[in-house]
């Protein structure tokens, strides 16, 4: 199995090269040259396995330059009972919102209480093995985060031999809990820096560093190599394919669907990684009917799916679902590549237009193809709060702000279309990561404490739910990283952290 760049099919690399490099030298993203095909009998075989067994099978089909022992080691180290609080790292809660079934796929039982753990607990293992196969250099992992990726990456990479990790976050663009999670990070190979700018500034800055030939050479001369833990790395996307197959198998085993039945998925979307992983699962043979792409007020994807025009020239809103506050959804580039039957020249043209003018429009054929399977919708701030309040107070399920966006968009979809296909609704964060917003929504009008941790305790008392242990432990931790830099100073931060001139 080889991988191409989305913007140049002439570039061909192995799986381990794709993961070690993170992004292609031409600035494109790595995509698998063929997509493995699963017949229903193979999906049936997966229903007999546990999560780790399912992961081993799927990963092996994409990482053919890894031995099965290597894959087993990566999977077994990542998805432990200790780290994910149970045997199934991604359980489904079968809930109802009024008369609408909500099969909530809880992806936040990992160590940082957000779905990024599903990929970032395994990526360091995939990456260190990939590096060993391809280079003798030490990896410098650069991460731009709107909140959850940063912490999940820091936690995944901390003290992993042969790696250093640096995380950049928008100084006013993350929740207090997210900030505290990052600034108190432990580990000897970690650094964290706040940027005066928004998430897109941080992401653009990281992309620029990756493609700055002079900087890359300076690092190389000093024995380092840049790599990425952002969702543009194939090693991030691949593990996410697993939980869609796994959820489908669990629903079959739980008698909720029959093998072969189609499902819908509703995904709270930012960088388009999570929903794209489901698209790969679909291309492999998972019976999916509709992909419901849910956005918050930053609804650039809703407009794109509806009109075929992607236009990032618009206001940016800092919302209560900050991990989805994104104007440039990087992984859409991979989706376009597949939607145009691998037309690298076309993808390159659109991506260049996006960079230079901030806007592109896909042709009618591509637009029609997308609309056949994708539905876009968005949810306002007010509606997000209302959904959290109603879901808990009337129907007994407590969800976070991001999940609420998906619940709302899915509910709108059912009410508009009457489509009752069983639907997996992704829940991407613990409500305790966004305690203030969640508390405001469930306890409308009440006076609330100011302190983040008092809010956490109050939320727990009010809702009779448990605070995830790693979040509770943050209260007594020391701040280690309080650096704030201009967005132009990111490269300097990298060099000075490494002690390289």
Ligand X SMILES: *Cc1c(COP(=O)(O)O)cnc(C)c1O
Residues of the shown chain interacting with ligand X in the complex, contacts defined by CB under 6 A: 114-116, 148, 231, 268-274, 323-324, 402, 428-429
Positive/negative CA dihedral, 336, 338, 341, 347? positive
User: 420 CB contacts (<8 Å, ≥6 apart)?
Assistant: 414
At its nearest, how many Å lie between ligand X and the CB of residue 132? 28
The two three-digit tokens of residue 169, written as one number: 């976050």
Which C-beta is closer to ligand X: that of 269 or that of 423? 269
At its nearest, how many Å lie between ligand X and the CB of residue 488? 25
DSSP state, residue 429 = B
Which C-beta is closer to ligand X: that of 153 or that of 324? 324
Task: Locate the DSSP E strands across 254-381.
Answer: 263-268, 288-295, 309-311, 359-361, 374-378
Which C-beta is closer to ligand X: that of 106 or that of 148? 148
Q: How many CB atoms lie within 10 A of CB 436?
A: 19
DSSP state, residue 444 = T
DSSP assignment string, 328-364 = S-TTHHHHHHHHTTS-HHHHHHHHHHHHHTSEEE--H
Which C-beta is closer to ligand X: that of 115 or that of 453? 115
Query: Residue 241 and residue 279: Cα distance in Å, rounded?
Result: 8
At its nearest, how many Å lie between ligand X and the CB of residue 323? 3
Q: How far is CA 373 from CA 196, 293, 342, 361, in A?
A: 38, 10, 18, 19
Which C-beta is closer to ligand X: that of 231 or that of 390? 231
At its nearest, how many Å lie between ligand X and the CB of residue 274? 4
Which C-beta is closer to ligand X: that of 84 or that of 272? 272
| Displacement of CA 154 from its chain's centroid (Å) | 15
Query: Residue 225 and residue 153: Cα distance in Å, rounded?
Result: 17
At its nearest, how many Å lie between ligand X and the CB of residue 10? 28
Pairing state between β 359-361 and 224-228: unpaired
Contact by Cβ (8 Å): 438, 398? yes
At its nearest, how many Å lie between ligand X and the CB of residue 169? 12
At its nearest, how many Å lie between ligand X and the CB of residue 444? 23
Which C-beta is closer to ligand X: that of 103 or that of 112? 112
Nearest to 302 by CA among 274, 348, 340, 270: 270
At its nearest, how many Å lie between ligand X and the CB of residue 106? 12
At its nearest, how many Å lie between ligand X and the CB of residue 108? 7
CB-neighbour burial class of residue 476 (10 A; exposed 0-12, middle 13-18, buried 19+): exposed
Which C-beta is closer to ligand X: that of 164 or that of 402? 402
User: 446 CB contacts (<8 Å, ≥6 apart)?
Assistant: none
Instruction: Give me Rg for the CA atoms of the chain.
Output: 21
At its nearest, how many Å lie between ligand X and the CB of residue 495? 28
Which C-beta is closer to ligand X: that of 346 or that of 430? 430
Which C-beta is closer to ligand X: that of 38 or that of 115? 115
Query: Residue 164 and residue 189: Cα distance in Å, rounded?
Result: 5
């Amino acid at each position: 199995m080889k991988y191409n760049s989305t913007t140049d099919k002439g570039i061909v690399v192995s799986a381990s090269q794709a993961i070690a490099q993170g992004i292609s030298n031409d600035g494109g993203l790595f995509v698998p040259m063929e997509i493995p095909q699963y017949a229903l009998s193979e999906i049936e075989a997966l229903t007999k396995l546990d999560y780790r067994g399912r992961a081993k099978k799927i990963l092996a089909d994409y990482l053919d330059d890894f031995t099965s022992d290597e894959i087993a080691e990566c999977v077994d180290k990542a998805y432990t009972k200790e780290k994910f609080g149970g045997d199934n790292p991604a359980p489904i809660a079968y809930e109802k919102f009024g008369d609408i079934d909500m099969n909530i796929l809880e992806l936040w039982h990992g160590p940082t209480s957000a779905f990024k753990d599903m990929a970032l607990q395994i990526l360091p293992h995939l990456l260190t093995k990939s590096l060993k196969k391809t280079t003798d250099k030490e990896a410098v992992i650069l991460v731009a985060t709107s909140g959850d990726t940063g912490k999940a990456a820091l936690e995944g990479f901390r003290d992993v031999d042969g790696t250093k990790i640096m995380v950049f976050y928008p100084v006013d663009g993350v929740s207090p809990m997210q900030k505290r999670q990052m600034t108190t990070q432990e580990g000897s190979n970690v650094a964290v820096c706040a940027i005066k700018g928004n998430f897109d500034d941080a992401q653009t800055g990281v992309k620029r560093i990756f493609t700055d030939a002079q900087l890359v050479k300076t690092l190389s001369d000093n024995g380092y190599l840049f790599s990425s833990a952002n969702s543009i790395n194939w090693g991030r996307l691949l593990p996410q394919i697993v939980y869609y197959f796994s959820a489908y198998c669990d629903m079959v085993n739980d008698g909720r669907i029959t093998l072969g039945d189609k499902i819908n998925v509703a995904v709270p979307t930012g960088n388009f990684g999570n929903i794209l992983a489901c698209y790969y699962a679909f291309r492999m043979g998972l019976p999916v009917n509709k992909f419901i792409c849910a956005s918050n007020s930053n609804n650039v994807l809703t407009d794109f799916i509806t009109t075929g025009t992607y236009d990032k020239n618009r206001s940016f809103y800092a919302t209560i679902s900050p991990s989805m506050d994104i104007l440039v959804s990087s992984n859409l580039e991979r989706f376009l590549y597949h939607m145009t039957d691998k037309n690298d020249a076309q993808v390159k043209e659109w991506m260049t237009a996006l960079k230079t003018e901030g806007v592109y429009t896909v042709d009618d054929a591509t637009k029609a193809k997308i609309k056949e399977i994708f539905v876009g919708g968005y949810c306002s701030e007010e509606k997000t709060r209302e959904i959290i309040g109603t879901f808990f107070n009337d129907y007994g399920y407590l969800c976070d702000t991001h999940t609420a966006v998906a619940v709302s968009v899915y509910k709108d979809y059912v009410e508009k279309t009457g489509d009752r296909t069983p639907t997996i609704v992704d829940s991407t964060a613990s409500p305790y990561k966004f305690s203030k917003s969640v508390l405001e929504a469930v306890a409308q009008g009440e006076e609330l404490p100011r302190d983040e941790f008092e809010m956490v305790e109050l939320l727990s008392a009010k809702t009779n739910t448990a605070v995830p242990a790693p979040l509770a432990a943050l209260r007594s931790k020391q701040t280690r990283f309080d650096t704030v830099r201009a967005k132009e100073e990111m490269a300097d931060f990298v060099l000075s952290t490494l002690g390289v001139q």
